[in-house]
Structure 1
Amino acid sequence: MTERLVVVGGDAAGMSAASQARRRRGADDLEIVVLERGSDTSYSACGIPYWVGDVVEDRDALVVRTPEAFREKHAIDARVHHEVVGIDTAAGQVRVRDLDGGREFDEPYDQLLLATGANPVRPPLPGLDGAGVFGVQTLDDGQAILDHLTAHHVRRAVVVGAGYIGLEMAEAMVVRGYEVDLVERSDRPMKTLDPDLGQRVADAMQGMGIRLHLTTEVKGIEHDGDRPRAVVTSAGELPADVVVLGLGTAPNTDLARDAGIPVGEHTGGIVVDVRQRTRVPGVWAAGDCAEVHHRVARAPAAIALGTIANKTGRVAGINLGGGYATFPGVLGTSVTKVCGVEIGRTGLGEADAEAAGYQPVCASVQSTTKAGYWPDRERMQLKVVAERRSGRLLGAQIVGGEGSCKRIDTFAAALWNQMTVEELLNVDLSYAPPFSPVWDPVLIGARKAWDAVLADGDR
């Protein structure tokens, strides 16, 4: 008898899972239905700021595979503009609303995968749901921003929040020629960076003309008809013709909560085991809506990254297809580029390490991306966090010019394998003047961190 898999959510995790399940089980053995409330499946949400900033020419460039391709080439019934509004785990069915036709109907399942992603954070502030105020999560969001910019004479943009999306969208607005104010309640942009590295990001943004309003809270947004007029902050009003929210995301778990599927108390993500199974039989979860295990903090986490969504979706799909796979956890490794500055991080920062119960020692290093005499070398700054006494690597951060950031992957590989900074400083990395100094910045950072461990032990 043919089994039926229903997937809720048609982006990274959902389509990775559906594709993996299909590779292992044919259509006569496993029927796969994907229900997506948006207009696209399998797309790059990370590319939206670059689309808005005219680096990427059009929307289609961000679509990896269309619903038609999934149906015709993979026998996966991918339906866009279909929103799941309820789950009945006892009956084994979901309630679906056809957003085009307006009708509602029930869709039965034998196995259910929740890949509902994450929602942009929208605090309950006056005017935040008004016209001209945008989150950045889906291609439809990106299209709505571009439509607004086309329909109105925009001169001033205000970005609220200085995480990855906020910084990237602020740069996109500068590229489009707008005056840009960025409002952030903490004392630095990229609060996941330690303060000394966050300052370099702030300097780069100000150098590009972005006005930073740090330690400033948004109180509301005032409108003039179908557009914003001003963002009201704790430091006064900021004129605005468009407002972009970059306040982070929260796991989209309303469906799961309403259906009695357990959600993590601290993370807000759906609780899953290493195979991506929830605590309700026949129900699985993957991607931004699900908890993951942080391998260094040794605690559940909710981290909205496309890399994690694809990997957890792959694990769920292998298991749903009759195979066996487990997801071993994350380090929170991430990179971005803002205003000509590359930013990378992995593992724990100094404060994160203390919060996780470690006693960290740290080392900060200034270096260059290439040999010191190479003409187009760029400056870079690293911070390495290690455990007191043992010297175990706990995390690293990098901020610098072109060629800096992907070095974070070396730290991530060492961190994944629980190396000490002493072990890392002896790793046989490559060298040639056009690529690095004779002592690569990674090795210098590890060496300085090991010196800090030894000095701490002598006290």
Structure 2
Amino acid sequence: MSMPGRERLVVIGGDAAGMSAASQARRLRGPEELEIVAFERGHFTSYSACGIPYWVGGDVTDRDDLIARTPEQHRARGIDLRLRTEVTEIDVPGRRVRARDVDSGAGSAYWTSYDKLVIATGARPVRPDMPGADAPGVHGVQTLDDGQALLDTLARARGKRAVVVGAGYIGVEMAEALINRGYEVTVVNRGSEPMSTLDPDMGRLVHRAMEGLGITMVNDAEVTELATGEDGRVRAVVTKDAEYPADVVVLGIGVRPETTLARAAGLPLGAHGGLLTDLAMRVRGPLAGGAIWAGGDCVEVLDLVSGQERHIALGTHANKHGQVIGTNVGGGYATFPGVVGTAVSKVCDLEIARTGLREKDARRVGLKYETVTIESTSRAGYYPGASPMTVKMLAEHRTGRLLGVQIVGREGAAKRVDIAAVALTAGMTVEQMTALDLGYAPPFSPVWDPVLVAARKAATKLRGAGRPSQGHGELRDQPPRTRT
């Protein structure tokens, strides 16, 4: 039990959301007021999971460069951080958690009470339910421990054949990392094109870039088995039509919220399996009793464009969640209003960005829309180093409200998506975007920035189809922007 007059905060998970929450709470409340106990089942804390592919690929040479704050630094600030300790049960009515030492096993289990609890259990890589999915040589990549395990396998591998299953962000980034390690890489993808976070016409541009790197792309392929050899290690990825030899297999088919503990405790989960919270990141429902918060990859967040809950596993959100939680636990006030779904990546020198809704997202939520796709350049066409850029934009059929933007291009392409992310957050129309006062000089942009070219073309298309944009007037038919 905590000392009289002092509350105890228990944090489950020692990465971005969990330790950001713990650190922010500590800034606001000293050890004499708030005891903080944090459990982390791995070996590391406060690291950049997004940087793992670049570490595996050799762009980042030292694993420790990915660690923002070490366990020793957290402990020096008065946080009782317990590494290699896994929480196995949450007793919500009793306000306590059961934990055990990972290396010692079940016999080391013990209970710790809490006054306030933060669940930051992250996400887990999806493993297909098929023979060989757990065989040695098959790797998901979500944590630093996962990255280290993959590097250990690469160091021991007898051959240089790698197969990546899935072509989302992780799959594409890991394919490039393995190419950089000298591997012959095949990507087996269930979709028609890589990067399902893009529409297929934009994903096709990524496909060409991957093949230009020497990566073999196999689309429209359903994996049926991860075949193993006599030694039990993976030897091939098998589809309905072919078999692809492999000395190592990396799973890049996405992640799911790690909410096993929350589900067992009866806490509310959404359609995507993530914990449901209010704007303060407090877990909803009477069972939580206002004493449980959750953040990071284990929660669902409000999509400000569609008005629906969705699961997005990104470190940017996790750190913001942690700051909000820590502020509220520490006696302050903060909220997390939602997201617009912004993400960037790269394949070699090809930059990939998206924000807002894809076409299928808009159809799913019942929005009518228009699309435009434009070709432009990263700089003034006459300036040295100008490179091509493709921008696709979605706008709502009647109101002209911006719904989404996708960008594929070379240097200077990806971060342009931030213009659209701000416009989406503000609920702007494409007509309003054409008047944005963006910076211009020939080394940085054409006189009309590519994003504004797309906005102007979208506005013209809406007017020409007899559906005038709402300009600077009031937006209509906007989805709700608050959580229930």
TM-score in terms of structure 2 length:
0.93
Residue of 8, 11, 30 corresponding to 1:4: 8
Alpha-carbon distance in 1 for matches of 2:151, 2:59: 14
Alpha-carbon distance in 1 for matches of 2:195, 2:33: 48
2:157–2:248 contact (8 Å) kept in structure 1: no
Pair 1:69 & 2:69 matched = no
Residue of 228, 253, 259 corresponding to 1:253: 259
- Post-superposition CA distance 1:141-178 (Å, at most 9, x none): 01001101111223100000000000000001111111
Residue of 94, 97, 103 corresponding to 2:97: 94
Alpha-carbon distance in 2 for matches of 1:317, 1:371: 45
Identity %: 57
Alpha-carbon distance in 1 for matches of 2:456, 2:133: 48
Residue of 218, 221, 224 corresponding to 2:223: 218
The residue aligned with 1:335 is 344
Query: In structure 1, what residue type is equivalent to 2:78?
Result: A
Gaps of 5+ in 1: none
Pair 1:244 & 2:253 matched = no
- Post-superposition CA distance 1:55-76 (Å, at most 9, x none): 000211111111110011x111
1:389–1:454 contact (8 Å) kept in structure 2: no
Q: Secondary structure at the match of 1:288?
A: coil
1:200–1:399 contact (8 Å) kept in structure 2: yes
Pair 1:178 & 2:144 matched = no
Q: Secondary structure at the match of 1:407?
A: helix
Query: In structure 2, what residue type is equivalent to 1:454?
Result: R
The residue aligned with 1:395 is 404
Alpha-carbon distance in 2 for matches of 1:176, 1:389: 50
Pair 1:314 & 2:323 matched = yes
1:14–1:115 contact (8 Å) kept in structure 2: yes
Alpha-carbon distance in 2 for matches of 1:419, 1:215: 37
Alpha-carbon distance in 2 for matches of 1:344, 1:448: 20
Residue of 2, 20, 23 corresponding to 1:19: 23
1:20–1:321 contact (8 Å) kept in structure 2: yes
2:397–2:467 contact (8 Å) kept in structure 1: no
Pair 1:375 & 2:375 matched = no
Query: In structure 1, what residue type is equivalent to 2:307?
Result: R
Residues 340-351 of structure 1: pairs in structure 2 closer than 5 A: 340-351=349-360
Q: Secondary structure at the match of 1:219?
A: strand
The residue aligned with 1:422 is 431
The residue aligned with 1:440 is 449
- Post-superposition CA distance 1:340-363 (Å, at most 9, x none): 210000010122112122111111
Alpha-carbon distance in 2 for matches of 1:65, 1:230: 39
Tell me whether 32-41 or 272-281 shows the greater mean CA deviation.
Answer: 272-281
Residues 51-62 of structure 1: pairs in structure 2 closer than 5 A: 51-62=55-66
Alpha-carbon distance in 2 for matches of 1:19, 1:122: 33
Q: Secondary structure at the match of 2:309?
A: strand
Alpha-carbon distance in 2 for matches of 1:159, 1:305: 21
The residue aligned with 1:142 is 147
TM-score in terms of structure 1 length:
0.98
Residues 278-297 of structure 1: pairs in structure 2 closer than 5 A: 278=283, 279=285, 280-281=288-289, 282-297=291-306
Shift of 1:227: 2.9
Pair 1:126 & 2:131 matched = yes
Alpha-carbon distance in 1 for matches of 2:159, 2:96: 46
Distance verdict in 2 for CA 1:58–1:154, change over 3 Å: farther
Q: Which runs of 4+ in 1 moved over 2 A?
A: none
The residue aligned with 1:455 is 464
CA RMSD of aligned residues (A): 1.1
Residue of 158, 165, 170 corresponding to 1:165: 170
Query: In structure 1, what residue type is equivalent to 2:241?
Result: A
Alpha-carbon distance in 2 for matches of 1:233, 1:380: 35
Tell me whether 355-364 or 3-12 shows the greater mean CA deviation.
Answer: 355-364
Shift of 1:101: 3.3
Q: Secondary structure at the match of 1:289?
A: coil
1:389–1:456 contact (8 Å) kept in structure 2: no
1:388–1:456 contact (8 Å) kept in structure 2: no
Q: Secondary structure at the match of 2:297?
A: helix
Shift of 1:389: 2.1
2:39–2:81 contact (8 Å) kept in structure 1: yes
Q: Secondary structure at the match of 1:141?
A: helix
The residue aligned with 1:32 is 36
Alpha-carbon distance in 2 for matches of 1:91, 1:71: 27
Distance verdict in 2 for CA 1:324–1:458, change over 3 Å: closer
Distance verdict in 2 for CA 1:305–1:458, change over 3 Å: closer
Gaps of 5+ in 2: 469-484
The residue aligned with 2:50 is 46
The residue aligned with 1:229 is 235
